[in-house]
Amino acid sequence: MGVATFEGVVEHGQIRLKTDIQLPDKTKVYIVVPDLVEPALKPMTHVFSPRLVHPEQAREFEMQVEVAADANV
């Protein structure tokens, strides 16, 4: 089994090789990441927007704004 080493970078989740080498589809590759910082290995947390179980209750959450008499609006 022959081994070749190519340097590259990750851009937008894709590995981009710094050379113009074209690897055939289905080529087995191994990725070695030097100096990887530990927090990069932790999974990302996604915070989703809240949703009402009963959308018809949306009127109960309408914001009421009060403007003070001395406010310069």
Main-chain dihedrals φ then ψ at residue 58, nearest 5 degrees = -60, -35
Q: ∠ CA 40-46-47 to the nearest 5 degrees?
A: 140
Q: Which residue has the higher pLDDT, 8 or 61?
A: 8
Q: Is the pLDDT of residue 39 over 80?
A: no
Domain boundaries of the chain, sorted by first residue: 8-61
What are the helix and strand counts (H, E) for the chain?
0, 2
Q: ∠ CA 32-34-36 to the nearest 5 degrees?
A: 105
pTM: 0.42
> Percent of the chain beyond pLDDT 90?
1
Write the CA distances from 67 to 26, 59, 61, 71, integer angstroms. 66, 21, 19, 7
Residue 60 banded pLDDT, cuts 50, 70, 90 = confident
- Name the average pLDDT for the chain: 82
